């Protein structure tokens, strides 16, 4: 049987190349694929069980009709940078800048294992789903000896919640005794990190168009990873056909570190070890000069913009309008919950508008541009723009339906402003691969109170290990 979902009457924002919107739109989904998008009432074939070309369907059609009146319909949001394990360490080092914050938290994170990470990922991805997120890119880089299959725990949690995941196998091999920031007990050897990276790809990466789980390689940062690991991880990823991710130009301290240690800016250093290209995306990129922006654009390197985390740590505001003007693919990221305790991707759309207007001016970041970053921009950053990121025929059905007729949003002349300027609207429905994950602002796939209890217990457990 074909499972068909018809959403009608919503303000539909396609986020296609033309920026098409339908104030009274419809969307038709067969299984996991979008088969019709348009304005006005849905076509007759969609409601009477026929195929999209109007011919009799080859098999029975099970129809679900969704009333979209008073709703805003968008693509599912895409989170291009997160640290799911940090859901267990929220509230620490509340007034610290990045390097001090890391020094405070590394000893706690170095006691993490696969079971604790799985619980943290359940909590973090549950909250992400309830904020409209359908794809989570996670950057995990702390792998204590004997900690088990941490990447597998993250993938398993995504399966339970029902969202897509790009789980990176991160790494750190530059401890404090060798001039890095992490304590020595929190790092791996270069060889062990590379071997485990290849194993993670073999075990969990799905290269197919409909993939629910993919893996990228993600050495942590220029101040926690050796040049050898950066070079060899880049070569390994390209040999395996997977993407590359790291932190870059997040703080002035990082800029000073690479200039003193290597005589180069972070971007110059990363390019020197093979880390610019269309298969690479960097997190933060707060302190990029004009030359770095030009290199990002020329090489096709993508960027994950994390406005709330950058504000929480006092790192600054990334030059996002300039990056977009140069043609750089920019997506949004929540970043780790230890530097963004809210953990909601939907809130980052509004934060991106406000932060970038504060830096560049009110006319330099529209709400729709921020929504583009949260959807199609994120899909481009992760190499999934052919199948995700917009509501178009032939794309996969990752869909968010926002309720915008409550007292919080009633009377807004532009429904899109409910998501981009006002308080985050509740979710009426979230579909991932055509399957419902959230309805009426409630997770359908897991028991929320049970997950909350497990997260609280895991957080206490981790704290006691230090």
What the block records as the tokens of 109 is: 């994170």
Torsion (CA) 175, 180, 182, 183 in degrees, nearest 10? 50
CA atoms within 13 A on the CB side of 338: 21
Sign of CA dihedral 348, 354, 360, 366: positive
- Asked if residue 180 has pLDDT above 90, the reply is no
CB atoms within 10 A of CB 210: 11
- Asked if residue 301 has pLDDT above 90, the reply is yes
d(CA 124, CA 34): 28
- Asked if residue 432 has pLDDT above 90, the reply is yes
CA-angle at 248, arms to 246 and 254, nearest 5°: 125
Q: Considering only CA atoms, which of 255, 281, 172 is closest in space to residue 221?
A: 172
Contact call for residues 184 and 175 (beta carbons, < 8 A) = yes
d(CA 380, CA 383): 5
Q: Considering only CA atoms, which of 412, 434, 424 is closest in space to residue 11?
A: 412
198-228 confidence digits (pLDDT tens): 999 999 999 999 999 999 999 999 999 999 9
Q: Are strands 280-284 and 244-248 parallel, antiparallel or unpaired?
A: parallel
**Per-residue DSSP letter, 374:** I
226-239 confidence digits (pLDDT tens): 999 999 999 999 99
Contact residues for 29 (Cβ-Cβ < 8 A; gap 6+): 4, 5, 6, 7, 35, 397, 399, 431, 434
Q: Provide the pLDDT confidence category of residue 354 given band limits of 50, 70 and 90.
A: very high
Structural element, H or E, at residue 323: helix 320-325
> What angle separates helix 150-161 from helix 114-130, to the nearest 10 degrees?
30
355-401 confidence digits (pLDDT tens): 999 999 999 999 999 999 999 999 999 999 999 999 999 999 999 99
What are the Cα distances from residue 23, in Å, to 8, 68, 160, 371? 11, 11, 34, 17
What the block records as the tokens of 353 is: 């508008």
Rounded CA Rg of the chain: 22
pLDDT of residue 148: 96
Q: What residues are paired with 33 via a beta bridge?
A: 30, 396
Max intra-chain CA distance, the chain: 71
Q: What percent of the chain has pLDDT over 90?
A: 96
- Asked if residue 192 has pLDDT above 90, the reply is yes
What the block records as the tokens of 120 is: 């943290």
Q: Which domains does the chain have, with CATH numbers?
A: 2-74+394-443 (2.30.40.10), 75-381 (3.20.20.140)
53-101 confidence digits (pLDDT tens): 999 988 889 999 999 999 999 999 999 999 999 999 999 999 999 999 9
Q: Considering only CA atoms, which of 21, 154, 93, 46 is closest in space to residue 312?
A: 93
Structural element, H or E, at residue 164: strand 164-171
Contact call for residues 387 and 376 (beta carbons, < 8 A) = no
**Per-residue DSSP letter, 54:** S
pLDDT of residue 220: 96
Residue ranges in 209-282 assigned as alpha helix (H): 227-240, 252-262, 266-272
φ, ψ of residue 229 to 5 degrees: the values are -65, -40
Contact call for residues 326 and 294 (beta carbons, < 8 A) = yes
Q: Are strands 280-284 and 302-305 parallel, antiparallel or unpaired?
A: parallel
Q: Provide the pLDDT confidence category of residue 144 given band limits of 50, 70 and 90.
A: very high
Contact residues for 304 (Cβ-Cβ < 8 A; gap 6+): 80, 81, 137, 281, 282, 283, 284, 330, 331, 332, 333, 381
Q: What percent of the chain has pLDDT over 70?
A: 100
CA-angle at 319, arms to 316 and 325, nearest 5°: 170
- Asked if residue 182 has pLDDT above 90, the reply is no
- Asked if residue 195 has pLDDT above 90, the reply is yes
The model's pTM: 0.98
d(CA 345, CA 325): 24
Sign of CA dihedral 259, 261, 264, 268: negative
What the block records as the tokens of 55 is: 């011919």
d(CA 287, CA 267): 10
pLDDT of residue 183: 86
Residue with tokens 């994170």: 109
Name the least confident of 132-136, 172-176, 191-195, 385-389: 172-176
Mean pLDDT score across all residues of the chain? 97
Mean pLDDT across 38-46: 96
């Amino acid at each position: 049987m074909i499972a068909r979902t018809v959403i009608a009457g919503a303000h539909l924002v396609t986020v296609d190349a033309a920026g098409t919107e339908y104030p009274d739109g419809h969307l038709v989904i067969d299984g996991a694929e979008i088969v019709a998008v348009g304005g006005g009432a849905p076509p007759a074939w969609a409601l009477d069980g026929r195929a999209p070309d109007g011919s009799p369907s080859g098999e029975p059609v099970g129809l679900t009709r969704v009333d979209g009146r008073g709703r805003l319909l968008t693509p599912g949001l895409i989170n291009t940078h997160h640290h799911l394990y940090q859901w267990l360490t929220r509230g620490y080092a509340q007034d610290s800048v990045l390097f001090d914050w890391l020094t405070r938290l590394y000893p706690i994170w170095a006691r993490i294992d696969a079971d604790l990470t799985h619980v943290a990922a359940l909590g973090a991805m549950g909250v992400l789903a309830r904020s409209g997120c359908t794809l989570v890119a996670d950057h995990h880089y702390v792998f204590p000896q004997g900690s088990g299959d941490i990447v597998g725990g993250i993938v398993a949690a995504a399966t339970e919640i029902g969202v897509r995941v790009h789980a990176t196998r991160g790494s750190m091999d530059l401890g404090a005794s060798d001039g890095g920031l992490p304590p020595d007990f929190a790092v791996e050897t270069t060889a062990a990190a590379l071997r485990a990276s290849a194993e993670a790809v073999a075990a969990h990466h799905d290269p197919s168009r409909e993939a629910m789980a993919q893996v990228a390689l993600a050495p942590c940062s220029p101040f926690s990873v050796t040049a050898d690991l950066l070079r060899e991880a880049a070569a390994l990823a390209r040999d395996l056909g997977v993407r590359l991710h790291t932190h870059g130009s997040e703080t002035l301290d990082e800029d000073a570190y690479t200039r003193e240690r290597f005589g180069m800016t972070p971007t110059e250093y990363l390019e020197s070890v093979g880390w610019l290209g269309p298969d690479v995306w960097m997190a933060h990129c707060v302190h990029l000069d004009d030359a770095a922006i030009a290199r990002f654009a020329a090489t096709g390197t993508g960027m994950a913009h994390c406005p709330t985390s950058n504000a929480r740590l006092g790192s600054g505001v990334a030059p996002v309008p300039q990056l977009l003007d140069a043609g750089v693919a920019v997506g949004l990221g929540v970043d780790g919950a230890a530097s963004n305790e809210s953990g909601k991707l939907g809130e980052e759309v509004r934060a991106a508008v406000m932060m970038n207007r504060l830096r560049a001016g009110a006319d330099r970041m529209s709400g729709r541009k921020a929504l583009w970053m949260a959807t199609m921009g994120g899909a481009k950053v992760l190499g999934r723009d052919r199948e995700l990121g917009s509501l178009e025929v032939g794309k996969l059905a990752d869909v968010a339906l926002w309720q915008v007729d409550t007292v919080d949003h009633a009377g807004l002349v532009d429904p899109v402003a409910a998501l981009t300027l006002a308080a985050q609207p509740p979710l009426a429905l979230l579909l991932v691969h055509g399957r419902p994950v959230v309805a009426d602002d409630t997770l359908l796939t897991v028991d929320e109170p049970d997950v909350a209890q497990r997260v609280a217990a895991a957080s206490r457990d981790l704290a006691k290990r230090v």
